[in-house]
Amino acid sequence: MEEFAAAEKQIADWITTHFTIVILLGVGLLLTIASRGVQLRMLPEMVRAVFGSRQGAKGGISSFQAFAISLAARVGVGNVFGVAAALLLGGPGAIFWMWVVALVGMATAFFEATLAQIFKVRHPDGAFRGGPAYYMKRGMRNRAMARVFAVITVLTCGVVITSVQSNAIAGTLTEAFGEGARQPLEGAGGFSAAQLTVAGLVFVFSAMVIFGGIRTVARVTEWMAPIMALVYVVMVAVICVLNIGQFGTVLGQIFTSAFSPEPLVGGLGGGIMAAMVNGTQRGLFSNEAGQGTAPNAAATATVSHPVRQGLIQSLGVFIDTIVVCTATAFVILIAGAEVWGGQGVNPSNLTTLAVSHELGAWAIVPMAVLVFVLAYSSIIAAYVYSDTNMSFVFGDRAWATWGVRVVCVASATAGALLSLDVVWNAVDIAMAVMTITNLIALVLLMRWGLGALRDYQEQRRAGIADPVFVGEGNPLLPRDVPGRVWKRPKKSRARKPGSAG
């Protein structure tokens, strides 16, 4: 198993070094320049859009619920274990490259969410469906590329990402169970009582929500995602405030290590290439910008204008990486080499050990519960992505709908029992393939996103508080938007096209 994990790691690092870094940052910069820095100049508009996004669902999924689903996937173990893995393998400099990926990724997230809204379709159950597969098919008119991406997404989200999240739950909770519970049981295939208990918990809790469908997921994540993010941020913020005097030192380590040819901090990896590779991999896993998963959630929202959801999703990248991941990195770096260099330290327990080092041993159990909630919400969000793309490939057949639910629950359960290295390296490879495919589509469809952005801005400058998008006869778009979702209303443009049949 170790040899297989090592081979996976080599493949993942090669793809990241030669393709993902160049394409991810290149496309992000291109979209940033083309949109005149939409992620920075419209940051206040993003905040306004989020605070006004809970209304207007009209029986469907609100803009805020769609944001919460994607936030649930973003603010997950990538913020806890992903940052720890980036630091251990890439050194403090990896955090700098996570920031870079996030800042350009905000523009990427804006475009992919906006496109997902433009080319979404209404599902027979009344909800909307959309995402990269839909804008590849309806925008690029490339059915083959759309189907390939959809199949990759079903496998990545339904099998790999769900396994990673539950693996993270197992890694943290088994630490909280105590040494006795971590010993392998006779006749249990080498698994411990702690592992089997966690696998059972994951099965029960994930099945309860996933078998209820997308609307159930939306209702759960609407309150779960913001609360879990807030609790975690408050916890690490307390540690940062108590150690405010070390901020300068930590920032120095991050910036110096980002461009150093050799590791600078004992107990942590490093070197510029290690920092770039691991920062990019973990940054992408954490905030998903450009990966093509979050647009599946963005498309489900009932909004009056696609750009509104694009702005909201862009803000999600900022919250995930610039706020939550940075806070995690500061806590680990503040804890010092006494924690980094400890025996048995790995990505699954480093953040928990750092928090308990600063707050006391009592923090281990709350951290275990918090990680369970973080990862659990990401599991059910990954199900949404899988279900959307399964529907795209096979239609609304009952076997496809229930098949993806069963696979997601089974993969999440199995992930609690798998090797950490095998799972993490698999997700790196899968995400790289998804990301490269999606970024190609974003470049080819860039004019659609720019046209929608200009349409939104012109209406806002005209004093319209809630711009309305019309995809028919719109001179700012390359051509009419296919389908009926954004058709021009017959009586008055005041009616919201986003809620049309």
Kindly state whether residue 501 falls inside one of the protein's structural domains: no
> Residue 114: pLDDT above 90?
yes
Burial class (CB in 10 A: 0-12, 13-18, 19+), 147: middle
CA–CA distance, 405 with 206 (Å, rounded to integer): 10
Number of domains in the chain: 1
Kindly state whether residue 455 falls inside one of the protein's structural domains: yes
Kindly state whether residue 299 falls inside one of the protein's structural domains: yes
**378 in helix, strand or coil?**
helix
Nearest C-alpha neighbor of 161 from the set 372, 379, 1, 7: 379
Mean pLDDT of 311-330: 86
CA–CA distance, 224 with 380 (Å, rounded to integer): 11
> Residue 50: pLDDT above 60?
yes
Mean pLDDT of 174-187: 66
Start-end of H helices in 119-142: 132-138
Q: Is the dihedral of CA 465, 471, 477, 481 positive or negative?
A: positive
At 290, which CATH number? 1.20.1740.10
> Which is more confidently placed, 384 or 284?
384
Please tell me which of 7-11, 24-28, 427-431 the model is most confident about, judged by mean pLDDT: 24-28
Kindly state whether residue 309 falls inside one of the protein's structural domains: yes
Sequence-ordered list of residues with C-beta below 8 angstroms from that of 245, at least 6 positions apart, any chain: none
Q: Considering the entire predicted model, what is its pTM? A: 0.81
> Residue 76: pLDDT above 70?
no
**In Å, how far are 83, 154, 272, 294, 395 from 94, measured between CA atoms?**
9, 29, 8, 23, 42
CA–CA distance, 213 with 19 (Å, rounded to integer): 36
Mean pLDDT of 448-467: 94
> What is the residue-wise DSSP string for 446-477?
HHHHHHHHHHHHHHHHTT-SS-----SS-TTS
CA–CA distance, 157 with 430 (Å, rounded to integer): 9
> Residue 269: pLDDT above 60?
no
Which run of H or E residues covers position 51?
helix 43-51
Percent of the chain at pLDDT > 70 equals: 79
CA–CA distance, 214 with 61 (Å, rounded to integer): 9
Which run of H or E residues covers position 14?
helix 2-15
> Residue 33: pLDDT above 80?
yes
Q: Which of 43-47, 248-252, 338-342 has the lowest mean pLDDT?
A: 338-342
CA–CA distance, 452 with 309 (Å, rounded to integer): 12
What pLDDT score was predicted for residue 6? 75
CA–CA distance, 139 with 28 (Å, rounded to integer): 20
**The domain containing residue 453 runs over which residues?**
7-462
Mean pLDDT of 446-463: 96
> Residue 226: pLDDT above 50?
yes
Q: Please work out, in degrees rounded to the nearest 5, the angle formed at the alpha carbon of residue 361 by the alpha carbons of 279 and 287.
A: 25
> Residue 350: pLDDT above 80?
yes
Kindly state whether residue 488 falls inside one of the protein's structural domains: no
| Average pLDDT across the chain, whole number | 80
Which run of H or E residues covers position 121?
strand 121-122
Kindly state whether residue 424 falls inside one of the protein's structural domains: yes
| pLDDT-derived band at 65, boundaries 50, 70, 90 | low
> Residue 426: pLDDT above 90?
no
> Which is more confidently placed, 418 or 61?
418
Three-state SS annotation for 224-290: HHHHHHHHHHHHHHHHHHHCHHHHHHHHHHHHHHHCCCCCCCCCCCCCHHHHHHHHHHHHHHHHCCC
**Residue 305: φ, ψ to 5°:** -150, 135
Kindly state whether residue 28 falls inside one of the protein's structural domains: yes
> Residue 460: pLDDT above 90?
yes
Kindly state whether residue 477 falls inside one of the protein's structural domains: no
Mean pLDDT of 191-220: 76
Sequence-ordered list of residues with C-beta below 8 angstroms from that of 60, at least 6 positions apart, any chain: 126, 127, 128, 300, 301, 302, 499
What pLDDT score was predicted for residue 495? 44
> Which is more confidently placed, 60 or 468?
468
Summarised one tens digit per residue, pLDDT across range 129-143 is 899 999 999 999 999
Please check whether residue 297 is in contact with residue 386, taking contact to mean a CB–CB distance below 8 angstroms: no
CA–CA distance, 13 with 98 (Å, rounded to integer): 16
**443 in helix, strand or coil?**
helix
What pLDDT score was predicted for residue 69? 61
Percent of the chain at pLDDT > 90 equals: 22
> Residue 496: pLDDT above 50?
no
> Which is more confidently placed, 475 or 313?
475
Start-end of H helices in 52-92: 63-74, 77, 83-90
Please check whether residue 465 is in contact with residue 440, taking contact to mean a CB–CB distance below 8 angstroms: no
> Which is more confidently placed, 351 or 175?
351
CA–CA distance, 383 with 414 (Å, rounded to integer): 15
Largest separation between any pair of C-alpha atoms in the chain: 73
CA–CA distance, 31 with 439 (Å, rounded to integer): 11
Nearest C-alpha neighbor of 313 from the set 110, 465, 97: 110
Using the CB atoms, write b or e for 309-333: b if 16+ within 10 Å: bbbbbbbbbbbbbbbbbbbbbbbbb
**In Å, how far are 19, 89, 193 from 281, measured between CA atoms?**
12, 11, 32
